[in-house]
Chains A and B, each alone.
Chain A
Amino acid sequence: MSLWGILAINSVAFGGLLFLLSAGFSLIFGLMRVPNLTHGSMFMLGGYVGSTLYLTWHLPFWLAALGAAATVAVFGGVIERLLLRRLSGSILAQVLVTLGISFIVADFCLLTWTGDPISVATPPGLTGGVRAFGLFFTTYRIAIILVACVVAALLWALLDKTRLGAMIRAGVDDPEMARVVGIRVSRLFTIVFCLGAGLAGFGGIMGAPILTVYPGLDGDMLPLALVVVILGGAGSLLGSLVGSFLIGFVYNFGQAMLPELAYFVLFLPMVLVLVLRPQGLFGRHAP
């Protein structure tokens, strides 16, 4: 089996995980203009909560994943309602508060789940692999890719095809006018925040069988979400999708081929985009 094939499949699967992580980040940043630095913590928290539900409570994997997503969504909603709500428009305050919360979450996780990494076995039914085109595809990685595609389709349908989605976009276009036509903008923004946080939490437990869950996972994931969103364009779902797979490839191939320059290779496309097309590949306007 060729190294290239393995790398390519891993890249696509990792891209799928990145999409779960960054879709919410992109929505929150692009639509609500909140630079949510707790997003990596949401991913990690999802991993910890999900692994506890799965390994300790012995829930079925998918139920544990949904439970983790719901828990993190509620946590996100609380942060939005109690803290970020009061800081609207003040980017520096939002950055500092979300960064502070991420430290608190990290310590809480350390306290609760100790510093030992938690390995989550591949859920039954998704072990093994498929052999095709002379390559070996791990079933679980294919499942991640499928899940990411389904989530992408659902999000697109929600934002582009429903009244709720149109209301969210109206609230982004002109929040004051949206309120004048009777849209409860603050409630919508809470929904978006919960959705984004829940998706990150879902990504955390989905990624656990590959990445394991460990202290510092938050800090490893947050920059990746940032790169994806800057590359794809804040607020653009398509941008997140393309950016995620792009970074999935760059990250995996960079680490395999140029390990010393892995971070350089990772951030280079971001720098190029910022210089040449600051709004991102699919963004509507510069952040």
Chain B
Amino acid sequence: MADEVLGLGGVDAYYGDSHVLHGVSFALGEARLLGLLGRNGAGKTTCMNVTMGILRPRRGTVTLFGRGIAGQPPEDIAARGMALVPQGRRIFKSLTVHENLLVAARPPQKNGAHAPWTFDTVYATFPRLKERQGQVAAYLSGGEQQMLAIGRALMANPRVLLMDEPSEGLAPQIVAEVMATIRRLKEQGLSIILVEQNAKLVFDIADDIVILNSGRVAVSGTTAELRNSGIDLHQHLGIY
């Protein structure tokens, strides 16, 4: 695999007393797209929360560019070059579209792989956001809110992007648009983790795949390996 940018090693995480992640390990390579699959409640979002610093793991390591970040606050992890497009989008509803981008803006790190993200480039990527830049974000459609959530993450000029179910609740043609955007981001050299319930979407776009089952890594490998191995996805993913 290419150079590792992000790695989880033996991560155990709890919500209160309930043990959600059991020794989860996987690694994301530079400029690769890792698809994280699993049923509802398999621990995908928890993985993202631990990685972003929202949830402190009880055991295990999280490394970003070779430095341990487990237990650090999210604002510090953001400053090290990670950004999250959260489940449910969680845009700042009382802020305008422009302000949502403004509060997240951060100059690119010196060794950033691609051209820096600015208002202009984000608006060029999502022209509909430009049309609505003065509008309060609460009044955007679901698809527009998703674009805003992605645009907001990009404004921080991240080197690692976590995307938690960006297709959730969107019409099929909007999903296709979002996936096309993700593919373009990957081509620009961004390292991405894409959390999805929809295995087909992930197999279309990912370089590597990790399947979680009940908080454990059940399967992992490159997309080609998994495709050729004949693993019964139904066993881990249910009805796909």
Contact = CB atoms under 8 A, between A and B. Distances in A.
A180 B54 contact: yes
The list of the 10 closest CB pairs from A to B, nearest first, reads A182-B78, A181-B104, A166-B99, A173-B92, A170-B92, A179-B74, A177-B90, A180-B74, A170-B103, A179-B75
A180 B86 contact: yes
Interface of B: 52-54, 73-75, 78-79, 83-84, 86, 90, 92-95, 99-100, 102-104, 106, 152-153, 156
10 contacts: A169-B94, A173-B92, A177-B90, A177-B92, A179-B73, A179-B74, A180-B53, A181-B83, A181-B103, A182-B156
Nearest to B137: A173
Name the residue in B52, B75, B84, B102 with the highest tally of chain A Cβ atoms < 10 Å from its Cβ: B75
Contact of B75 (A173, A184, A284): A184
Nearest to A184: B75
Interface of A: 163, 166-167, 169-170, 172-174, 176-185, 284
A174 B90 contact: yes
B83 A166 contact: no
Given A169-B94, A173-B95, A184-B75, A178 B103 contact: yes
Contacts of B152: 181
Q: Which of A170, A174, A183 has the most CB of B within 10 A?
A: A170
B102 A163 contact: yes
B207 to A, nearest CB: 25
Contacts of A185: 75
Given A174-B90, A178-B92, A183 B75 contact: yes
A183 B103 contact: yes
A169 B99 CA distance: 10
A179 B84 CA distance: 11
A170, A182, A185 interface centre (most CB from chain B within 10 Å): A182
Nearest to B94: A173
Nearest to B90: A177
Given A163-B103, A167-B103, A183-B103, 19 more contacts: A163-B102, A169-B92, A169-B94, A170-B95, A170-B100, A170-B103, A173-B92, A173-B94, A174-B92, A176-B74, A177-B92, A178-B103, A179-B73, A180-B52, A180-B75, A181-B104, A182-B79, A184-B75, A284-B94
A181 B153 CA distance: 7
A176 B74 CA distance: 8
B54 A176 contact: yes
A2 to B, nearest CB: 45
B71 to A, nearest CB: 14
Contacts of B94: 169, 172-173, 284
Contacts of B103: 163, 166-167, 170, 178, 181, 183
Contacts of A181: 78, 83, 103-104, 152-153, 156
Contacts of B156: 181-182
Contacts of B95: 166, 169-170, 173
Contacts of A172: 94
A184 B77 CA distance: 12
A182 B74 CA distance: 7
Nearest to B100: A170
A169 B104 CA distance: 13
